[in-house]
Amino acid sequence: MSKILGIDLGTTFSAMATIINGEPRIIENKEGARTTPSVVAINKTGERLVGILAKRQQVTNPKNTIFSAKRLIGRRYSDPEVQRDKKLLPYEIREASDGGVEIKMGDRWYKPLEISAMVLQKLKVDAEAKLGEKITDAVITCPAYFDDSQRKATKLAGEIAGFNVRRVINEPTAAALAYGLNKKKGERIVVYDFGGGTFDISILNVSEDTIEVIATGGDTHLGGDDFDQRIMDWLLSEFKRTEGIDLSKDELALQRLKEAAEKAKIELSSVLETEINLPFISADASGPKHFYYKLTRAKLEELVNDYIAKSIELVKQTLKEVNLQPKDIDEVVLVGGQTRMPKIQEELRKFFGKEPNKEINPDEVVAIGAAIQGGILEGGVRDVLLLDVTPLSLGIETLGGVNTILIPKNTTIPTSKTQIFSTASDNQTSVEIHVLQGERPMAQDNKSLGRFI
């Protein structure tokens, strides 16, 4: 029986794992790395590059190097988050004929899910080469707070890449599977998942044979990318203040700054101060200008403090929804590269009154969990009952454009609900049912899942 590949399709990096001799193992890519940048490019000769090769030439080819496609997947072009990203991304995006998003790469326009499919295809090819066998089945993860269209787009990306997608599971649920694999006693855990583009918080009961999601919350547009952008904005304003030169329209300089900002952020998780040194960043009448600044950990914390506070607020809110206190939580499991930031760990320590669990590599835990789910499906791993919840409420539009919620968020699934409604006028022969996903009181402010008569 062929193996099932567990894939963490991340905003900035992706990882893959499978069950080997009864144990989940991370599979290295062709370049020998345990994670693969979620970056796709078309170079000057028209060749398509994926992963580290695409990332390496990003500085010199910003318009044709696509990153963070996951932030756009399954979204409508009119979404405020897409409009915000449009101002910051070096590549072109436009509205597709169906109201979605299209990305320009080379001389063609692609849907975000097609970009994700290229990343998944590389993982498939590399895994097959590493394992020496053909792989068709996969379990792919997505943020718990993804809505229906984002989940469908993720599944379709997998199918375009050549996979039979057996399941799309939530990233925190996958992390809980990895964490709970050999746990004997029952625990109530929080999975705090701060990745490159999304933030998820899930509360779960984990025991030897059951993983039950109690509640989930988050923000599908809050991640490490936003931290990088804050550093970039600060560097741009400092350079303008000291040198009088505005680099915000210089594409090449912006890409160099983006790379330097990400590198500095990572370094500041282990040191208190780092140098950002970019020679020949620009020039004026007096000659070339060099970019040299020191960034301290304290300054970084000041720049992104509101983002960290927002994540803690979402944790509070999610606990409140299910009437839990911080003291009711046994373990806090960290997921996503951004959780390496000492300030985030400090805030979690203060809030929960305990040290966050750092046993499992935050970059790999989700892929490991996806592989375990694959192992359960193929029968090679002890069965675990997974009880998940709806991340967002489901309802229908009723008279006056109101969103009438039938299935509240955090309801254990599968579930069904029956409710009787009367028609708006007498002798009506048909009625249009407009299905919605979201918490807002008015129908127009929620995600439309479809209409039927």
Please identify which of the residues 70, 258, 289, 409 carries the catalytic annotation: 70
Which token pair is 104?
């320009």
Phi-psi group of 191: left, alpha or beta (phi > 0 → left; psi -120 to 50 → alpha; rest → beta): beta
Distance CA 279, CA 282 (A): 8
- Selection from 190, 138, 164 nearest residue 327 by Cα: 190
**Is 193 among the residues known to form the active site?**
yes
Edge-to-edge strand order for the sheet containing 331-335? 331-335, 187-194, 199-206, 210-219, 385-389, 412-413
* Alpha-carbon gap, residue 120 to 106, rounded angstroms: 20
- Is 40:49 a contact under the CB 8 Å cutoff? yes
The answer to whether 299 is a known catalytic residue is no
Local structure of 24: helix, strand or coil: strand
Smallest CA-to-CA distance from 129 within 44, 46, 22, 30 is with 30
Amino acid at 230: R
Helix (H, G, I), strand (E, B) or coil at 165: strand
Check: CB of residue 123 under 8 Å from CB of residue 14. Answer: yes
Q: What three-state secondary structure class fits 21?
A: coil
Annotation marks residue 8 as catalytic: yes
Dihedral of alpha carbons 95, 122, 228, 170, sign? positive
* Active-site choice (8, 102, 147, 364): 8
* Residues pairing with 210 in the sheet: 385
Q: Exactly one of 114, 126, 147, 171 is catalytic; which is it? A: 171
Residue that the structure tokens 């914390």 belong to: 301
The rounded distance, in Å, linking the Cα atoms of 124 and 110 is 20
Nearest partner of 142 among 14, 324, 20, judged by Cα:
14
Q: Which of the following is catalytic: 85, 193, 225, 226?
A: 193
Question: In 3-state terms, what secondary structure has residue 56?
Answer: helix
Compute, in degrees rounded to 10, the torsion defined by CA atoms 99, 105, 110, 112.
Answer: -80
SS3 state at 349: helix
> Torsion angle, CA of 342/348/354/359, rounded to 10 degrees?
-60
**Helix boundaries (H) for 340-434:** 342-352, 365-378
363 is catalytic: no
73 within 8 A of 157, measured Cβ to Cβ: yes
Phi-psi region of 51 (alpha: psi -120 to 50; beta: other; left: phi over 0): left
Q: Give me the active site residues, please.
A: 8, 70, 171, 193
